[in-house]
Amino acid sequence: MGERPILHEYAASGNCYKIRLTAALLGVAIERREYDIMLGETRTAAFLNGINANGRIPVLQIGDRLLPESNAACFWLADGTRLVPSDRFARADMLRWMFWEQYNHEPNVATLRFWMRWIGEAKLSDVQRALLPAKIEAGKAALALMDDHLAKHDWLAGPALSLADICLYAYTHVADDSGLFGLADTPAVQAWLARIEAQPGYVAMGA
């Protein structure tokens, strides 16, 4: 693979963890550079001009090329490996879950984790507070939809572990950091989390 890819990240972010977990499961070494989002380190001119004009982490750097968006970085790492199904439908179905994650899961499950645990309920803005009921409902619906699927299938897409599982694992396994989502309500999700944690090469979020 030539020189190591560099992950520009904030380690507590599930979006960054997805990439580390993908690399670990594939046995690919990456270099990590940490930015403290709570101190605004991804909003400096150096970051905006040099790493990502969007002001967001993660960004995967491959040589002098920069790849933002966590799920795209996972795809770059896993392209051509067992983590991307070789069957055409399963490959698209894997991406289906990854797009769904960004639209239906992350803005609810991950955002509520950040709001409740990093910002703190007392410090939420009026707009954030007004959004809480809808986000809690949408987060519960997202976890229930996964549970329904996983009650019938071991993996989200295709016959084996794929990027869909890794990308959804990242925020699902810490969903209850917000104090709002009890995984006891979704037993099939719990069993699936354990299947992922049993994979050779698995690394925990805090590792």
Q: How far is the CB of 142 from a second copy (least distance, A)?
A: 9
CB nearer a second copy, residue 48 or residue 207: 48
Residues interacting with a second copy, by CB under 8 A? Answer: 53-54, 62, 65, 67-73, 75-76, 79-80, 88-89, 91-93, 95-96, 98-100, 102-104, 106-107, 126-127, 130-131, 134, 145, 148
Question: Residue with structure tokens 């977990």?
Answer: 21
CB nearer a second copy, residue 65 or residue 123: 65
Specify whether the CB–CB gap between 125 and 94 falls below 8 A. no
Specify whether the CB–CB gap between 196 and 169 falls below 8 A. yes
Q: How far is the CB of 160 from a second copy (least distance, A)?
A: 18
CB nearer a second copy, residue 23 or residue 131: 131
Specify whether the CB–CB gap between 112 and 143 falls below 8 A. no
Task: Enter the tokens of residue 59.
Answer: 């960004």
Q: How far is the CB of 198 from a second copy (least distance, A)?
A: 28
Phi/psi at 62 (nearest 5 deg)?
A: -120, 105
| CA–CA distance, 83 with 24 (Å, rounded to integer) | 12
